Structure 1
């Protein structure tokens, strides 16, 4: 369940990969909703997007809670220069900040617009124009930044796996992956 000095544990790995999949779904549903003109279809898309966003927010809270109180991260491999390690830590920190920012701006739009009754209440009202609400701008910017970070993060993992041929990616997978090949 917990991480070791050389591998991430089952809880950390599960939260990581589930969050990654859900973030991809969030980005897809978010951009699809933003570009859909049919308000009924948009409400249907948002009825999936909103619970996904809440789930990612809760998983991220769980992840932070898990690291602070129950687990430790594996030691750095030590095969990267200090700048690369700092960049990796910066990307991870930005992920957390963006996830929380996206959750708060999404909740802000939801509350300010009253969209909940249209999306989940079954009242069939008219979906509001979300561009009229201030949290929409940081939510849109955050979505684009999440994509950039996701590409950087996945690219770095693939670089480590296929170019450097180290165990960076395997450490964040299920099971013990401590051999250096």
Structure 2
């Protein structure tokens, strides 16, 4: 077998785009928009909706990964780097899921579902830092950014330096058994 299941491939690229967009939206637009700015509700609605969709798709991706056949792990001749490659993938799953859950916890504690989706008319909290999961959410977002850079860097290294065809495993095409 040379390729991952087509659902894993599709979810990989869809989630990559959504996660990067969510990080940008959270780290720039939301971070730089005052809580009393009316646009903040729109941005929060987009960010929170995207986070819930990411969580659902990530859980689907995890279930698919655990229940489908997959190519053997890449072996580049270095046990530590082989282990780090596998650990990186599991870290991405864990951090994305934890990031979504910390966002959900922050939103729940701040009463955001009713404010953002229910139209309660209540104002946003003055400062989200008052809610403990918010600190975890920020730290996890930073960690996820680092993991994404490492993951993308490793992918580019495999593709352009090693030229080992590893990229094809997570791309669309005929799945050979």
Q: Could you state the TM-score of these two structures normalised by the residue count of structure 2?
A: 0.91
1:93 alignment counterpart: 90
**Contact conserved, 1:167 with 1:177, CA < 8 A, in 2?**
no
Indicate whether 1:7 and 2:12 are aligned.
no
Q: Could you tell me which residue of structure 1 aligns to residue 46 of structure 2?
A: 48
Counterpart position of 1:73: 70
Contiguous gaps of at least 5 residues in structure 2 = none
Cα distance change on mapping 1:97 and 1:140 into 2, 3 Å? same
Range moving further from structure 2, 101-110 or 36-45: 36-45
- Residue 14 of structure 2 corresponds to which residue in structure 1? 18
Structure 1 CA distance for aligned equivalents of residues 139 and 62 of structure 2 = 24
1:82 is displaced (CA, Å) by: 1.4
1:22-74 Cα shifts (integer Å, max 9, x gaps): 101110111120221153222111100111111111111111111223x0221
Structure-2 residue corresponding to 1:133: 131
2:157 is the alignment partner of 1:159? yes
- 1:177, distance to aligned residue in structure 2 (A): 8.1
Aligned residues: 173
Within the alignment, does 1:144 sit opposite 2:142 as a pair?
yes
Would the aligned equivalents of 1:60 and 1:96 in 2 still touch at CA under 8 Å? yes
| Among 110, 117, 134, the residue aligned to 1:120 | 117
Q: Which has the higher contact order (CA 8 A, sep 6+)?
A: 2
Question: What TM-score comes out, normalization by structure 1 length?
Answer: 0.90
